[in-house]
Structure 1
Amino acid sequence: MRSPTETETDDNLPIVIVGGGFAGLFAALHLRDLHSGPIILIDQTWCFVFKPLLYELLSSEVKLELICPRYDRLLHNTGITFVLGTVEAIDLDQKQVKLNGLTYSYRYLVLALGSTTSYFGIPGAKEHALSFRTGYDVFALGQHLRNRLQIATQTEDMEERRAMLTVAIG
């Protein structure tokens, strides 16, 4: 059992959330209404990615800022602190997260680390596919498609042209 001083000290410690995807960002926004203490959101990138609309970024229907808004803008006036960095270590016994040479003590820790691209065991997919998870992925795919189109328009062999313009989506 903790002594009253330990409990009072814990009340002042932040909730630390690692991962700023849908789960992390929405956990932070929901918890700010339930927790009177500080909340810290940590992510490796400056921007949240609204993945359901990445295709609109590829088709140039919307601007990057709408699909990938910066955390500092999203969290402005929310009381949630954003920290850019990669977690180097988590000490569960000491209730500390270490990153960027700093240590953050926490009352509660939320790990919302997201997912990785799955290739579903399809041979060659990992080596030859382009992922579609970030703004950078969208621009890489767009550049790749434009390059293929440009090469195809300069190719007279119809079979080769068709192969260059064939795209598989998984």
Structure 2
Amino acid sequence: MEHERIPQPNSSRHSMTFYGIDYLQNQHGINQLIRFSVIIALCVALVAFTVLYLRHRLKTKYRDLGIIALLLVALVFGGGYTQYRQSETASAKSEQMVSFVQHVAKEKHVSQKDVLVNSKYLNQDVIVKIGKKYYTVTLNTDYTAYRLTETHMLTDIKVEQ
């Protein structure tokens, strides 16, 4: 009888990141704030170069810098629309995860801060950490019901609050 060789886990330690509810609630706000700040800075530069050009019409460097700023504003707005649509979708998915964490905390009678998840978005096979226990999440097809099954971790974990 031939013995099957069972694959052994990699000897190097891997780490899995878990996210707290504060991180999940704030992750998209920071990206939008940065994008908004860049747009404001470019618009201020555009106005400044326009004023400088109007004052010093003979110096074409201000006109050229104004045109560059205008093109950058157009580029940021053009790319920004696509990013905005993607951000809205990601934000909706993130809200699903926040709602899920809140529901699990209520069901398990723990603080929302004590429930950690290994994904920013709700999907099949998310791992939930509550206290020192880990659970694998199984969702039904329309994501209206879930089952938590206790599981065990083989890797180290890292927490992002």
Same fold (TM over 0.5): no
* Greater RCO (Cα-Cα under 8 Å, separation 6 or more): 2
Structure whose CA Rg is larger: 2
Higher helix residue share: 2
Interval containing the TM-score (normalised by the shorter chain): under 0.3
Could you tell me the TM-score, scaled by structure 2's length?
0.24
Could you tell me the TM-score, scaled by structure 1's length?
0.23
